[in-house]
């Protein structure tokens, strides 16, 4: 059983597809890239699968993101990407535990 939920355009040849599926007898939500080009049309290996037992936790994480968090800095205009360099993590930062959802 496959049920396409929706898609988001990534670029001219690639869409991100969200679907509910049953892979290997295990139901879940799949978020994958779908490419349409001269050489290949179909799903790529890029993506993620959320199994049904983990879906409520995933949904809570997504719903915890506010619209204010997702606002563009310049009022909707795309800013040119700037190269940023990440500082190295200390051992304490690397071992910091994340909340378990």
Which pLDDT belongs to residue 84? 53
- Which pTM was predicted? 0.63
Q: How distant is the alpha carbon of residue 20 from its chain centre?
A: 15
Domain coverage including residue 31:
1-66
In a domain, 2, yes or no: yes
Kindly state whether residue 80 falls inside one of the protein's structural domains.
Answer: no
Residues of the chain with pLDDT under 70: 74-101
Does any domain span residue 100? no
Q: How many domains does the chain have?
A: 1
Residue at token pair 């994480």: 61
In a domain, 89, yes or no: no
Token duo for residue 38: 């001269």
Structural tokens at position 35? 């490419």
Question: Do the domain assignments include residue 77?
Answer: no
pLDDT of residue 23: 87
- Mapped onto helix, strand or coil, the DSSP state of residue 93 is helix
Q: Which CATH number is 31's domain given?
A: 2.30.31.10
> Is residue 82 one of the residues assigned to a domain?
no
- 84 vs 79: CA distance, rounded Å: 14
Cross-strand partners of 33: 16
Q: Please report which helix (H) or strand (E) contains residue 36, including its range.
A: strand 26-36
């Amino acid at each position: 059983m496959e049920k396409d939920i929706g898609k988001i355009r990534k670029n001219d040849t690639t869409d991100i597809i969200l679907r509910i599926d049953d892979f290997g007898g295990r139901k879940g939500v799949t978020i994958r890239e779908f490419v349409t080009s001269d050489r290949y049309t179909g799903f790529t290996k890029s993506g993620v699968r959320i199994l049904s037992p983990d879906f409520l936790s995933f949904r809570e994480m997504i719903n915890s993101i506010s619209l204010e968090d997702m606002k563009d800095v310049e009022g909707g205009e795309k800013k040119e990407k700037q190269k940023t360099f990440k500082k190295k993590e200390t051992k304490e930062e690397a071992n910091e535990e994340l909340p378990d959802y």
